[in-house]
Structure 1
Amino acid sequence: MKLPRTITVLSGAALSVVMLVTPVGAQPSRTVGASTTYQINARHDGSLVDTAVGAPPLSRKWSRDLGGNVSYPIVAGGRVFATAASPDGHGTVLHAIDAATGEDAWEPVGLGGSYWWSALAYGGGRLYAQNDDGVLTAFDPATGAKAWTVTLPGQYSFTSPPTFAAGVVYTGGAGSGGTVYAVDASTGAVLWTQPVENGDNSSPAVTADGVYVSYACEQTYAFAPKSGEPVWRHRTECSGGGGRTPVVADGGVWVRDDAGMTPSVLDAADGRLRGTYEADGWSPAPAFDGRQGYFVDEGVLRERHSRTLETRWTFEGDGRISTAPIVVNGYVYVGSQSGRLWALNGATGQSVWSTDVGAPIEEPDEHNVSEPLTGLGAGGGLVVVPATHLLVAYGQ
């Protein structure tokens, strides 16, 4: 006899309903998730379903000192990928680590660059690395062999992490105005470009309906993923350099600004203002699990309903919470500049586990190119934490 179970999963680019049929007395097959870009997925909503992780408490599986400040990790295909600031000068180094052992899966690769910034994305069986000069390279994640390299045209300053979706790598560049790029993931050919104000620090959030980017003063754009045609634009009365990665969740585009504007929620379909919420413009990206939103502001984690924007619980920790939160199987993970990592019950805010990672867990710097953009990751049974020079993996 078999009993069906229906699981609704809010993850990636769409809502999916999965029917699992499990023999009585047998264990169900596990869902193994992946972190494929900044803030877990193409929506940047920080949410992951990975039953291989299990419920906290977790134990340390391995720790690596990569010799320089470490980026957010890509966790996929039995590997953990991250970049680190080069200890020998400008530029960054790409590291591929066996997720099970913590040992190098292949030799580290220098990515070059004028500064210490680089960022990663994964999809279509390839790993994509971009440096601050706009050199975008596709690697075989199993061997480290290069599939193609392209220097993105028309700009000279690149601080927007790439995003993979449906066979395309999306990214942005700045220098002379700004540009959003769509690159064929199989060949490296540039499929389309669009001008924006001003192309900095905004990893494209991508769904089947839109490519969303947001820059200084909440100048926010939506483009059609295949053609690049403008869908809508949210205009304000100012502009400037800088930007923040938007988050797409519950039909809204959640945007932040370090120029003093109140963080806003825009309707993903037409760009109209749906609401605002109290937070510092320098606050990291929020994470979402359905209509539960998790926001870090001034060192404190707050849970808000995504429609009413009402704060329902807060968690102060040590008052130095620094990371963008992520949500794995309903547990919220955040880290502190003191080096503390917490797992909280997403419904109640109760801390269920914490540990000392061994080094400060710095906040994501979405304004400079002095180091790779950092952030938490998870997948393949692991929660992975960049902590200054360290990359630390936890699991069961």
Structure 2
Amino acid sequence: MRGRSLFLSVTLLACTATLATAAPAGAAAAEKSTKCPAVAHHVTADQSGASCAKLSATPTQKWSVALNGSASYPIIADGKVFVVTATPGGNPGGWLYALDAATGKVAWGPVPLGGSYYFFALAYDGGKLFVNGFDGTITAFDPEKGAQLWSTVTVNFSSEPVATGGVVYVYGSGRVAAVSESNGAVAWRTSVDGDGGSLAVDSTGVYLNGGCSQTRLSLTGSVVWNDNDGCTGGGGGTSYLGGNLFFSSTGDHVLDKTTGADLGTFTGTPAFSDGHAFIADGASLTRESLSDLAPKFTTTLPGQVVAGPVIAGHVVYVGTSDGKVYGVSTADGKIVATLSLPGTPGGGGEYYAPVSDMNIGGGLLVVPTGSTVTAFS
């Protein structure tokens, strides 16, 4: 590959803010929580990291609740916050919770999740909540009451699910599977390189990376293009879509979505807004133009980024190793908000606990820190 590197500059910015006491939850807040849902790990099915949700310019804590184990990234939809937790004591299995988005109180659950592993991941679409295990068992739940609707075994060494357009997509064991949201029937399976990667899906196709390849599939499962680094293997990467670009963590490639042409490289975790990528790497957050991949500014944060980035309005939010969430202006890189957390965000993994991260949806910024889930608005 001949991708050109994206160089990161360093600019030190420091800012402190006092976290105010949250205002009481009301009917308006409950209504707002149903809008702009977070339906995937990085907010949307294309894993763009950007939400249409509105947050206060200076978010304050709305609620915080302790659960029975380390909590996953949240899904925020239907006036609820959904998370899975690891089974206490380091045993396989887990639990599914629905929290009231206005108050943080348990709406239903914990529902026990069986399996041979510790990894469970969530997605939402079309009025259904989907849980996928590392063994590839996808289970659909009624988000209102928590009743199981159906369960289907797909592919082992499986990924975070992505649900959109009436289909749930998962990636594992050298295959991508597409499952009907209505009844769990497998619509198609396609053989690919790698396993266990996180998919990104939009109206143009299914994007994945793993082993040594980056691949675009059509929505019916045919291979549109494949970009291979000259080898084969297992393992899966994370995929992100921004503009007409596909950011693949396998090889850190930036690819043209339409053709698969290699346009450059990146390092870190991106989120996208207004024609720019905001890439968190170490203690840095860099804004780059999607038109030419040129860096525009870099903000150095007080701690290493361990959660996010996610975007609402004109602010990029990242969780850091010093137990804070920092809000950074998308316009100039200045730190405009500092939120204190009860612990360190992020963590988890396929073999020991659900993958944890922060998310934005329904007027809330939700940040798990171990077994505690905290919401800001």
* Structure 1 position 239 matched with structure 2 position 241: no
The answer to whether the 8 Å contact 2:198/2:236 transfers is: no
Q: Residue 329 of structure 1 aligns with which residue? A: 313
1:276 CA drift (Å): 2.2
The equivalent of 2:205 in structure 1 is 210
What is the match of residue 222 of structure 1? Answer: 216
> What residue is the counterpart of 1:35 in the other structure?
38
Q: What is the aligned counterpart of 1:44 among 25, 42, 47? A: 47
CA displacement at 1:389 relative to structure 2: 1.8
Q: How high is the TM-score relative to the length of structure 2?
A: 0.88
Deviation track 1:253-296 (CA, whole Å, cap 9, x = no partner) reads 11113xxx3x211111121112223x2xxx3x310002111111
Equivalent positions of 1:45-194 (< 5 A) are: 45-51=48-54, 53=55, 55-88=56-89, 89-152=91-154, 155-158=155-158, 160-174=159-173, 178-194=174-190
Q: 2: CA distance between counterparts of 1:298 and 1:325? A: 12
1:203, distance to aligned residue in structure 2 (A): 2.0
Cα distance in 2 for residues equivalent to 1:35 and 1:234: 30
Structure 1 match to 2:19: none
- Deviations along 1:23-80, one digit per CA (max 9) or x if unpaired, are xxxxxx97931100110001101001123x3x32111111122232211100011000
Q: What are structure 2's unaligned runs of at least 5 residues? A: 1-30
Distance 1:117 1:276 in 2: 29
Q: Say if 1:197 and 1:114 are closer, same or farther in 2 by CA, change over 3 A.
A: same
8 Å Cα contact 1:338-1:361 kept in structure 2: no
Match of 2:346 in 1: 362
Q: What amino acid is the match of 2:293?
A: L
- 1:161 match: secondary structure: coil
What amino acid does structure 1 have at the position aligned with 2:274? G
Aligned partner of 2:218: which letter? A
Distance in 2 separating the partners of 1:363 and 1:86: 15
Q: Distance in 2 between matches of 1:294 and 1:224?
A: 27
Alignment of 1:251-266 (within 5 A): 251-257=244-250, 261=251, 263-266=252-255
| Equivalent-residue separation in structure 2 for 1:68 and 1:114 (angstroms) | 17
- Letter of the structure 2 residue corresponding to residue 212 of structure 1: Y
Q: Which has the higher contact order (CA 8 A, sep 6+)?
A: 2
Counterparts in 2 of 1:273 and 1:364: CA distance versus 1, 3 Å: farther
> Could you tell me how far 1:118 is from its partner in structure 2?
0.5
Contact 1:337 1:363 survives alignment (8 Å): no
Match of 1:195 in 2: 191
Which residue of the partner structure matches residue 276 of structure 1? 265
Q: How many residues align?
A: 345
Aligned partners of 2:303 and 2:296: how far apart in 1? 18
Per-residue Cα deviation, 1:226-263 (whole angstroms, up to 9, x for no partner): x2111111111123222222111110111113xxx3x2
Query: How many angstroms apart in 1 are the aligned matches of 2:260 and 2:278?
Result: 22
Is the contact between residue 324 and residue 363 of structure 1 (CA under 8 Å) also seen in structure 2?
no
Query: Which amino acid letter does the alignment assign opposite residue 373 of structure 1?
Result: V
- Aligned-residue offset at 1:349: 0.9
SS at match of 1:286: strand
SS of residue paired to 1:322: strand
8 A Cα contact 1:343 1:353, kept in partner: yes
Asked if residue 377 in structure 1 is aligned to residue 376 in structure 2, the reply is no
User: What percent identity do the matched residue pairs reach?
Assistant: 34
Indicate conservation of the 8 Å contact 1:63/1:102, yes or no: yes
Written as runs of structure 1 = structure 2, the 5 A alignment for 1:18-33 is 32-33=35-36
Mapped partners of 2:86, 2:292: distance in 1: 41
Task: Output the CA distance in 2 between the equivalents of 1:161 and 1:108.
Answer: 20
In structure 2, the residue matched to 1:387 is 369
**AA paired with 1:113?**
G
Question: Contact conserved, 1:214 with 1:245, CA < 8 A, in 2?
Answer: yes
C-alpha distance in structure 2 between counterparts of 1:374 and 1:299, whole Å = 19
Counterpart CA distance in 2 for 1:307 and 1:359 is: 38
Q: Give how far 1:298 is off.
A: 2.1
1:21 is matched with none
8 Å contact 1:299–1:322 — kept in the other structure?
no
Contact kept? 1:78, 1:380, Cα under 8 Å: yes
- Asked if the contact 2:72/2:357 (under 8 Å) is kept, the reply is yes
Give the drift of 1:364. Answer: 6.7
How far does the alpha carbon of each residue in 1:288-319 deviate from its partner, in whole angstroms, 9 at most, with x for none?
00211111112221111112222222222213
State the SS of the aligned residue for 2:306: coil
Q: In 2, are the aligned partners of 1:323 and 1:364 still within 8 Å (CA)?
A: no
